[in-house]
Amino acid sequence: MLGTALTGEPGVTLNVKASELLADARPVAEAISHAFDRAPDLTGHLRVTRAFSSSGLDVELVNSLVSPDPEIRIAAAQLCAALRLSDAVPWLGDLMTDSNPRVRDAAIRALGRSGGHRAVDLLMAALDRIPQHRLAIELSRAATDLDIEMLIRKPASLQAAVVAVLACGLRKDRFRVNLLLGIAHDRRWPADVRVASCRALGMIGDPATAVGIRGLIADPDATVQAAAAKAHRRFERTPRVADSS
């Protein structure tokens, strides 16, 4: 029955218990995500979520986020995120301060997977509590293109700007390479943000940015120089690969 529901068949009601889903949270979450990926549009997504809501499973999963058992809280976070249950997002935000570090990590990852403005706001509000690399990864998953652009153009802090720029790189966002190049070259930006921009450009790997990055190798700031040189080496390798073929 679960397999039928996850294929998006209309009118399917699940006859499985929440406890059974929680016991196999990881494979079930992966199956849900796979079903969403196969869905051609939002209608397919709605069919999957309705299969859970029609049997009240969505409410039970959200309620499980406050279970006294940390393993249940972790499992519930994984499933609520896979289903992208908006009602779970505030509770996931609360779990980022859970006493159990594994629960905190599950909540951070779940917010990234859930996505949406509220998830982005909660992640950025925890800027000082989440390791920079983890926050950039989850922000890259949760944020829309517009969210990322606004976070870069109007950052709340230096650290917020760095995380948003790195998230842009992790998304391989070629539409914002000019923005990133502009930041990298603009000495009015703090060096940390300029370095992050070089790193992001290296992650995106757009050959059109090679010249702009090379111009930063002689930058007065040594940290920007080093970041630009590292990013530019990505492009230097490309001709050699082509010549050997």
Going from the N-terminus, what domains does the chain have, and what CATH number goes with each?
A: 1-114 (no CATH), 131-238 (1.25.10.10)
CA distance 235 to 201: 11
Of residues 118 and 5, more confidently modeled:
118
Specify the pTM.
0.85
Please write down the HEC assignment for all residues of 169-216: HHCCCHHHHHHHHHHHHCCCCCHHHHHHHHHHHHHHCCHHHHHHHHCC
* Residue-level pLDDT at 44: 61
| Closest listed residue to residue 186, CA positions, set 201, 197, 171, 176 | 197
User: Tell me, what amino acid is at 198?
Assistant: C
Per-residue tokens: 116: 């949406």
Q: Per-residue confidence at 237, pLDDT binned at 50, 70, 90? A: low
Residue 137 has pLDDT above 60, yes or no: yes
- The whole-chain average pLDDT of the chain stands at 88
Question: How many CB atoms are located within 10 Å of the residue 242 CB?
Answer: 8
* Residue-level pLDDT at 179: 94
* Residue-level pLDDT at 9: 59
* Residue-level pLDDT at 1: 47
Q: Per-residue confidence at 8, pLDDT binned at 50, 70, 90? A: low
pLDDT cut 70: percent of the chain above it? 88
Under 8 Å CB-to-CB from 24, ≥6 apart: which residues?
none
Question: How many CB atoms are located within 10 Å of the residue 206 CB?
Answer: 17
From 1-15, 76-90, 108-122, 136-150, the region with the lowest mean pLDDT: 1-15
* Residue-level pLDDT at 242: 39
**30 secondary structure, DSSP code:** H
